[in-house]
Amino acid sequence: MKIIGTGCSHPSKVVTNDMLSDLVDTSNEWIMTRTGISERRVISSEMMLDLAVEAARNALDDAGISASELDFIIVANVVNEYVTPALSCILQGAIGATCPCVDLNGACVGFIYGLDMAEAYYKAGKVKKVLVVCAEQPSRMLSWQDRSVCVLFGDGAGAAVLAEGDNIKATRLTASSNYDKLYQMHELQPSPFNTKPSTDLPLVMRGQDVFKFASKASYADLSALLKETGKTADDVSLFLLHQANIRIIENIAHIFNQDKAKFPTNIQKYGNTSSASLPILLDELNREGKLHHGDLLALSAFGAGLVSGACLLEW
């Protein structure tokens, strides 16, 4: 397939590092030097659906197609206000589409999972136009008293429209069930037959373990794709890495011996927006005219699971 349009949407509320230092024992200096994050957007009065719909509409406008032309909608999302129906199904009606739709929980790798699924459906001859939307609100999963977690994340949505083409050159997904490293558990409705204790826990993260996993996984995924396609890191125009920590991104640039300028970032403004991180970055670069016909883009993400994924695509 080929990406023919991108879009994104952010909550209106800006939360700066200084605002966080009023909530927890932290400082702008600590957050900036350890993560590269200066501020993030956080959902206040918006619903997750509002952001998803706006990102989807922006991507459809950019692609120059109407929602009725879509054959399939994939929404990557970890949590939203509705347990059921799927966010993709609510979004389908809101944008005026009529095609089948499905949600996936790929944590921060949701966009790469979405691209891979779209490509697989396309290759099976089932679809020609697919909308992938990533909409996430980690701000409602974490504790705002936990300084090691609340400074890292932000909310947002990003989207891409895919159509017929041969621009996705290769994708790779990995999963290893290490769920104690990064997880959240929430209480379900009471049942007179439930005998288990309460399981309401905000996001738990073993930061250093996740950091090491992220660096290793991103390097392994990107190396495997370059090898598979007969390319080298020098052939890549831009590396779009999941915006989790500027130090992870700089590590990867260093390991591949590439100029940091080839690793665009927007983590400064948005923090880690989970699966929305890559399509938001892609959309910004697209709208700023920084993506050129024929550019080779290397996308890489990692997250709770632990899972990772990468994609090489030609713009």
Contact status, residue 87 vs residue 48, Cβ threshold 8 Å: yes
**What is the H or E stretch that residue 163 is in?**
strand 156-163
- Residues 248-287, interacting with ligand COA (CB under 6 A): 272
Please, which residue, 104 or 163, has the CB nearer to ligand COA?
A: 104
Nearest distance from C-beta of residue 108 to ligand COA, angstroms = 4
Residues 74, 78, 108, 280: which binds ligand COA (CB under 6 A)? 108
Q: What DSSP state is assigned to residue 140?
A: G
Alpha-carbon span 302 to 315, nearest angstrom:
22
- Residues 201-220, interacting with ligand COA (CB under 6 A): 205, 207-208, 210-211, 214
Q: Pick the catalytic residue from 242, 245, 251, 311.
A: 242
- Angle in degrees, 0-180, between the axes of helices 87-95 and 48-63, rounded to the nearest 10: 50
Q: What DSSP state is assigned to residue 154?
A: -
Residues 151, 226, 249, 267: which binds ligand COA (CB under 6 A)? 151
CA distance readout (Å), 69 to 8, 115, 250: 20, 18, 40
Q: CB-based burial of residue 44 (10 Å sphere; 0-12 exposed, 13-18 middle, 19+ buried)?
A: exposed
Mask 226-245, x = binds ligand COA (CB under 6 A)?
Answer: ------------------xx
Mask 282-311, x = binds ligand COA (CB under 6 A)?
Answer: --------------------xx--------
Partners of residue 276 on adjacent β-strands: none
Alpha-carbon span 175 to 254, nearest angstrom:
25
Known catalytic membership, residue 286: no
Nearest distance from C-beta of residue 253 to ligand COA, angstroms = 16
Cβ-closest residue to ligand COA? 207
Please, which residue, 91 or 214, has the CB nearer to ligand COA?
A: 214
CA distance readout (Å), 55 to 8, 160, 177, 269, 279: 4, 9, 31, 17, 10
Mask 114-143, x = binds ligand COA (CB under 6 A)?
Answer: ------------------------------
| Structure tokens given for 34 | 């350890």
Please, which residue, 42 or 67, has the CB nearer to ligand COA?
A: 42
Based on the shown chain and the rule CB under 6 A, indicate whether residue 58 belongs to the binding site for ligand COA: no
Alpha-carbon span 81 to 189, nearest angstrom:
14
Nearest distance from C-beta of residue 104 to ligand COA, angstroms = 16
Interface positions with ligand COA (CB under 6 A): 26, 30-31, 34-35, 108, 147-148, 151, 205, 207-208, 210-211, 214, 244-245, 272, 302-303
Q: Known catalytic residues?
A: 108, 242, 272
